[in-house]
Amino acid sequence: MEKALGHRFRRPELLEQALRHRSAGTPHNERLEFLGDALVNLFMAEALYTQWPKVDEGALTRARAELVRESSLARIARDLELGARLTLGPGEMKSGGHRRDSILADAVEALVAAIYLDSDFETCRAAVLPWFEKAMAALPPPNKVGKDAKTRLQEWLQGRQKPLPVYTLISEEGEEHARTFRVSCTLAQPEIVTEGEGSSRRAAEQLAAEAALARIEATR
């Protein structure tokens, strides 16, 4: 876990707390999440300010929102394989909480705070920035930031007079308060089929569209 995070904890209890959901009792990760949210926003604001020196405040704000939104943080959690390492209460375990975007995203923010409290600002930033490298690289050009993945995919296809994507619900699982949706995105030209999973059908469609855009970019 520490190798994946890029930080070796001097106080391992902070790591344990960051991975403990409130359903598993105290000390849980909600206070860490509060601090981590502020740190993540600052790290991303600074990184974007440096990467895009001529971009205005509005585009920077939209890009930061793209990087720190729940689904983006949940993808980082999956890259770090956090789901299997979370400590959840029996109810959340039964309902598949380790797969839920909101719980995964909260854990990422809590981990950022845990690293900060275990070290210092510079050490934390150096450990955390690599987690966001893929998301930073995948950002659209500044003038396109703010458009969601479905819109960007549709515009790309329409601009080349290609058929629009077809989104199909594959599965819907979990309790009423904790549903998980899996959706496919099918393109005819180019022939691409991707899938996305989220806490709503719309979120799953967005993730499937993002995956399709990534496949398109990879073949260009």
Q: Which residues are catalytic?
A: 37, 109
3-state SS string for 81-148: CCHHHCECCHHHHHCCHHHCHHHHHHHHHHHHHHHHHHCCHHHHHHHHHHHHHHHHHCCCCHHHCCCC
CB atoms within 10 A of CB 56: 9
Q: Which residues pair with 180 in a beta bridge?
A: 173
Peptide bond into 190 cis (omega under 30): yes
Q: Could you give the CA distance from residue 152 to residue 158 in angstroms, rounded to a whole number?
A: 10
Q: Could you give the CA distance from residue 96 to residue 90 in angstroms, rounded to a whole number?
A: 10
DSSP character at residue 20: B
76 in helix, strand or coil? helix
The response to whether 101 counts as a known ligand-binding position is: no
The response to whether 106 counts as a known ligand-binding position is: yes
The response to whether 30 counts as a known ligand-binding position is: no
Tokens at residue 158, please? 């329409």
Which parts are annotated binding residues for Mg(2+)? 33, 106, 109
Residues annotated within the binding site are 33, 106, 109
